[in-house]
Amino acid sequence: MIPVSHYLFLSLALFIIGVVGVLTRRNVIIILMSIELILNAVNINLVAFSRLFGSVNGQIFALFVITDAAAEAAVGLGIIIAFFRNRETVLADEMDLLKW
C-alpha cells in the first residue's frame, strides 16, 4: 500500500508548479489554467486523506472544490473576453488601469 505522504508530495509538486505559473506567466489565460492546477492539487490531498480515514467527507469537499473551479473559470474567462474587447491584450502586466 502506498503511504499517504507520497500523495502529499505529488500534490505539493503540482501546487508549486501552479504557483510558479501564476506568478511568472504574462498571459492571463495561462494564469487561469495554473489556478486550475492548484485546485486540482488540493483535490488530490482531500481524496488521499478521505481514503486514509475511511470517510467519504473528503471526496464531498473535493466535489465542492470542483464546483468552485468551474464557477471561477466561467467568470474569469468572461472577464478576459470583456477586457480583450476593450484593450486588445491578454497580457497581465499591461492591465494597469482601473478605468479607461
Task: Tell me which residues in 13-42 interact with another protein (CB under 8 A).
Answer: 13-21, 23-27, 29-30, 32-34, 36-37, 40
Q: Does 95 bind another protein (CB under 8 A)?
A: no
- Tell me how far, at minimum, the Cβ of 93 lies from another protein, in Å: 5
Nearer to another protein, 14 or 98 (CB): 14
Q: Does 91 bind another protein (CB under 8 A)?
A: yes
- Tell me how far, at minimum, the Cβ of 10 lies from another protein, in Å: 5
Q: How many CA atoms lie within 13 A of 8 on its CB side?
A: 6
Identify which of 79, 34, 80, 44 has the alpha carbon closest to the alpha carbon of residue 65. 44
Q: Does 71 bind another protein (CB under 8 A)?
A: yes
Q: How many CA atoms lie within 13 A of 93 on its CB side?
A: 5
Identify which of 70, 66, 97, 76 has the alpha carbon closest to the alpha carbon of residue 32. 76
